Amino acid sequence: ESATPETDVDVLIIGAGPAGLMAAVSLAHLAPIPSSSPLSVRIIDKRSTKIFSGQADGLQCRSLEIFDSLGFADRAWKEANHMIEICMWNPDSSGIIKRSDRIPDTIVGLSRFQQIVLHQGRIERFFLDNIQKYSRGAIKVERGIMPTSLEIGQERVKVKVRKLTEEEAAVPQVRTGSKNDSTDGLFRSNLVGDDYEDQNIARNGTGEEEVINARFVIGCDGARSWTRRALGHDFELQGEATDFIWGVMDIIPITDFPDIRMRCAIHSANDGSLMVIPRENRLVRLYIQLKEVTPDASGRADRSKITPELIFSAAQKILKPFKIDYEYCDWWTAYQIGQRISPFFSHPSNKVFLAGDAVHTHSPKAGQGMNVSMQDSFNLAWKVGLVAKGVCHPRILETYQSERRRVAQDLIEFDHKFSRLFSGRPAKDVMDAEGVSMAEFKDAFLKGNLFASGLSVDYGPSSLVVKSGDPGELGDRSDRSRKLEGVHKITEDEFNAKQSLAKGLPVGMRVNSFKVLNQACARPWHFQERLKADGRFRVVLFAGNILDQKQKQRVRAFCDKLNSSDGFLRKATPEGAKIDSVVEVLTIHSAKRTETELLRDFPDILHPFDSHTGWDYNKVFVDDESYHEGFGDAYNNYGADRERGCVVAVRPDQYVGWIGELEDFEQLQNYFEGILISK
Ligand code: FAD
């Protein structure tokens, strides 16, 4: 027998769903960051194809901001259906459903994007195209490959994989032979136990084997994650399932229900609840509570009882007296509501990480699963990539667990509350303690909208975020209650004083976006558009009123330190590389654009010179009126002083890491020395 071939790789991603693809795309975008050798990345998936219909469809504001930082939000924005209003329907005193309220779908003013819906297959397509473009073809999803063993060594993680045959890798489908003979998503539903377990296939298969020696492994292999199980019992999901079973159908409806093109939450008096999600291409998704199907003593529902006919007749009952029918069904599935989370998102060696459904599952109705899953690996990938490239200190890897597990925990709690309110019977009156109060439901919806946008995420203190408060522990269990390394010390009073320099840029939260103008060409930009997810940290200098002589002196003093040979900027930049290749300095000033001159008023380091390409005209911006797009009023919106300004450090994922005065250079230097490895 010939020896199994072995390959070395920097990062191995297991699973090419939204979480795995986000990891791959983010790593592809790090290519221009200088390092001694290019980052090698592989991504494998057991299935032979990507998803073509169904599954997740909601994209939240934060996910769109992230897509924009990677260069493909415009594709999603154009193709998707835009969610503008939510209508609530509840039974009136005679038990007939009536529209009782309307609220905006996305809280007004929260982001430059609003929630949209488009099926997961298209979103996966955008990812694949972007990975191809930015990795120049070097990263390709390798399909029909499954891992069979994982061993964490001193230097590398040894993962044995096996190629599957076409048949073994195909997606199992239930065919009914009726007009509902469309694609179903049951094979990925949590109603499926181990019956589609592919492990035997992989173990006993005849396909070729390979050993992949990876420096880092990212497990993005979904709710029944093989990688999670390979890490042992510590990583088991904890939580509970409920008795509520929901069906999902993507159909083109034929109906007299007036709000079919609005997002609707409908509570019927006695027949359960329904959620309407209007979609692209005339489709509408219905989430339907199935009162006829309940779990058995083992806690699982009988999947064979669930058919599209059963799901649809439940919808028809809830919508009465309105009529609904359809000729075309694109996809359907069913799931049991439950909220489960793994205690750990990373192995203590910080060589193996888990992201997405692999570590948290919940009901899909709040449209969070795909969003939070992608945001997990967006948080992780740049950290892994920059450590692998030798740019960042490995200690930053610990912040993945501390930052993302907290978000998942919040999500589980939110979903727990929200899905129970949704699945409960509406209260008949205030004395009806068993029923759900519709006022409480609306309130939860309004609060939920902020959470659901993804914009309330607020990372705690760590080596990457300088703020006061409890950094938390790295896990729930006493045997792993290690503390985070390299947390910056700052008292609450000190921190509050710094934060007050720009209240609209909360440390630990993502940089909000307002329009500013390019000083050199007067073009308006949403400032976030300048914060690309290319692995670079940024220092944003709010230079204030640069035409005031005293302020100009302060800016000059700050820039002298920035430019000095022992400053973090030069120390982090490799010999011969451009000065903005690891940390980019961007400036926003508040003087009048037409009275200010880029070359006269701003120190060179703010618009660096290159002997081949001249001055850099894309680094200095002004908070001033534009000709065509109004006034962004950025200083006011960020809460920065128009005279004195301030300095902000921004992480590669657009989260604020540090804030201070122009005189606080030493603290800024400390911040970066804790993160970046000097050359
Ligand atoms: P997955 O999408 O499950 O991807 C895992 C990948 O890993 C798959 O490609 C799989 O083939 C592969 N894999 C699995 N095991 C192995 C293995 N051993 N080896 C190799 N590869 C493996 N989320 C939202 O945000 N918004 C919504 O509106 C929404 N609606 C939903 C509606 C429904 C009906 C359902 C079922 C889910 C919905 N979700 C929604 C949730 C969303 O689909 C998931 O949260 C999301 O897909 C998770 O992404 P992931 O990459 O972590 O996992």
In tens, the pLDDT along 415-451 reads: 888 777 777 777 777 667 677 787 887 877 777 888 8
CB–CB of 511/528 below 8 Å? yes
279 belongs to the catalytic site: yes
pLDDT of residue 246: 84
Q: In the chain, what is the straight-line distance between the N-terminal and C-terminal CA atoms, in Å?
A: 47
Strand partners, 650: 538, 656
Q: Which of 21, 42, 45 to mutate to test the pocket of ligand 1 (most atoms within 8 A of CB)?
A: 45
32 belongs to the catalytic site: no
* Separation between Cα atoms, residue 617 and residue 608, nearest integer Å: 9
> Which is the catalytic residue, given 278, 364, 524, 603?
364
pLDDT of residue 193: 45
Strand partners, 97: 91
CB–CB of 504/588 below 8 Å? no
Atom 40, ligand 1: residue with shortest CA distance? 56
Structure tokens at 37: 């050798």
Q: How far is the CA of 178 from the centre of ligand 1 (A)?
A: 27
> Which is the catalytic residue, given 279, 404, 536, 538?
279
Q: How many Cα atoms sit within 13 Å of 497 on the Cβ side?
A: 7
* Separation between Cα atoms, residue 171 and residue 536, nearest integer Å: 39
> Which is the catalytic residue, given 287, 326, 459, 655?
287
Cβ-Cβ contacts under 8 Å for 414 (sequence gap 6 or more):
366, 368, 448, 451, 452
CB–CB of 306/290 below 8 Å? yes
Report angle CA 580, 657, 463 to the nearest 5 degrees: 100
pLDDT of residue 173: 54
pLDDT of residue 171: 60
Q: Could you tell me where the beta strands, DSSP code E, fall in 220-272?
A: 238-255, 263-267
The 10 Å Cβ neighbour count of residue 439 is 11
Ligand 1 pocket, 335 CB below 6 A?
yes
Residue at 367: amino acid letter: G
Tell which atom from ligand 1 comes closest to the C-alpha of 371.
25
Q: How far is the CA of 142 from the centre of ligand 1 (A)?
A: 17
CB–CB of 653/23 below 8 Å? no
287 belongs to the catalytic site: yes
Atom 34, ligand 1: residue with shortest CA distance? 55
CB–CB of 489/482 below 8 Å? no
Ligand 1 pocket, 16 CB below 6 A?
yes
Ligand 1 pocket, 11 CB below 6 A?
no
Structure tokens at 655: 């989260």
Q: ipTM of the predicted structure?
A: 0.96
- The full DSSP string for 282-310 is T-EEEEEE-SS----TTS---GGG--HHH
pLDDT of residue 191: 47
Q: How far is the CA of 222 from the centre of ligand 1 (A)?
A: 5
Give the chain's largest Cα–Cα span.
80
* Separation between Cα atoms, residue 238 and residue 379, nearest integer Å: 23
pLDDT of residue 289: 83
Structure tokens at 670: 């400390």
Atom 41, ligand 1: residue with shortest CA distance? 369
Ligand 1 pocket, 20 CB below 6 A?
yes
Ligand 1 pocket, 369 CB below 6 A?
yes
Strand partners, 311: none
Q: How far is the CA of 367 from the centre of ligand 1 (A)?
A: 12
Residue-range domains of the chain with CATH:
6-432 (3.50.50.60), 478-673 (3.40.30.20)
| Residues in the chain where the model's pLDDT stays below 50 | 174-178, 190-196, 476-479
Ligand 1 pocket, 159 CB below 6 A?
no
